Structure 1
Amino acid sequence: MSTRVVTGKVRFSYFSALTARKNEMNGKEEFSTQVLVPKTDTETVNQLKAAAKAALTAKFGDKIPKTVRNPLRDGDTETKSDGSPLGPEYAGHYFFNTKSTAKPGAVDAHGHDIIGSQDIVSGDFGRVSLNAYAYDQAGNKGVSYGLNPAAESVDSDW
């Protein structure tokens, strides 16, 4: 079973996938975005879940821990750290964060390279290529989605 997923149409939030930002937790420069997946896109949701399960199996075999962090969060039930609701754009969506230390390539709907970070902004729609990976670090166990370095397709007019 593959850990690689190319999503259907998703929405980008906190988009910094073309300009690296310093991760305050590890000090590394990273490219990242938050991805909002419509709950109606069951194909993408099922692929994300299957990739996460495959990553867990690859890491832990048949001894998957009972409590692992799931990267796919529910926009209808999650709240901000202060307990207040998320914005209305999260309604009807699952969401997750993805990042990479390598700059991902980006193309528009016609296959032309997107060079400038101003060409894609938070709120734009597109597809993203990801790889699920499991981790066991400092007592934390779970799955995350890594942003693949050369397969992001976007179209802000979608």
Structure 2
Amino acid sequence: MSTKVVTGTVRFSYLNVFKPKAITEGQDPKYSVSLLIPKEDKATLRKIRDAIEAEKKAGAAEKWKGKVPANLKTPLRDGDVERADEHPEYEGMYFLNASSSEKPILLDETKEEVLDQTELYSGCWGRANVNFYCFDVNGNRGIAVGLNALQKKRDDEPLGGMITVESAAADFDDDDDDDGMLG
């Protein structure tokens, strides 16, 4: 069983949706994103918490011998507690990581497929279609998040030092270059 959730508008971080990538050496390559969810988005947070609770019950019934493990790993984490010191964009946010071995569907604001890889980047905002599922692997038990689709909603400052096409073009607007010619 899995539980699908379509989020409200969230910020994409560590966006890796055009080519699968292994997070750690030896791991299978996956498509992935960290979803930064504003703490004031109560509707999205309620849907996520409800999905996690539903998966806890399903996991207890199907995988964990009738009870929820005490050391259960859950995906929703507090950005202020875990990341804000080194990553200011996590301040005032909850976050969760979603991944898939299959390429997710990528849509723009008008629900057309995104073909231009510069269109989606870490830092832009959009909605996510994810599914929650329980796992029990080598004594590791928890709820994970599968990535189904992303829809871009708006641009913002890129995260991680990347620049957008628009900001690169603006950088070249300064016409003070004398082409380096001498003489």
TM-score bin, normalised by smaller chain: 0.7 to 0.9
- Counterpart of 2:70 in 1: which secondary structure? coil
CA drift of 1:18 comes to 2.1
Q: Distance in 2 between matches of 1:70 and 1:15?
A: 21
Structure with the bigger RCO (C-alpha within 8 Å, sep 6+) is: 1
Question: Which has the higher mean CA deviation after the structures are superposed, 27-36 or 60-69?
Answer: 60-69
Identity of aligned residues (%): 37
TM-score normalised per structure 1 = 0.88
- Counterpart of 2:53 in 1: which secondary structure? helix
Pair 1:66–1:60, CA change in 2 (3 A): same
Number of the residue aligned with 2:79: 75
Number of the residue aligned with 2:10: 10
CA drift of 1:117 comes to 2.2
Pair 1:2–1:16, CA change in 2 (3 A): closer
Q: Distance in 2 between matches of 1:77 and 1:69?
A: 16
Number of the residue aligned with 1:124: 124
- Counterpart of 1:56 in 2: which secondary structure? helix
**How many residues of Structure 1 are paired with residues of Structure 2 in the alignment?**
152
Q: CA RMSD in A?
A: 1.9
Number of the residue aligned with 2:69: 65
Gaps of 5+ in 2: 157-183
Number of the residue aligned with 2:143: 143
Question: Which has the higher mean CA deviation after the structures are superposed, 56-65 or 86-95?
Answer: 56-65
Q: Pick the structure with greater CA Rg.
A: 2
Q: Deviations over 1:3-25 (max 9, x none)?
A: 11000000000100122112435
Number of the residue aligned with 1:109: 109
Q: Deviations over 1:20-52 (max 9, x none)?
A: 112435532210011100010011111111111
Number of the residue aligned with 2:179: none
User: Aligned ranges for residues 32-71 of structure 1 at < 5 Å?
Assistant: 32-61=32-61, 62-71=66-75
Q: Deviations over 1:47-85 (max 9, x none)?
A: 1111111112112125111221111110111148xxxx2
Number of the residue aligned with 2:181: none
- Counterpart of 1:68 in 2: which secondary structure? coil
Gaps of 5+ in 1: none
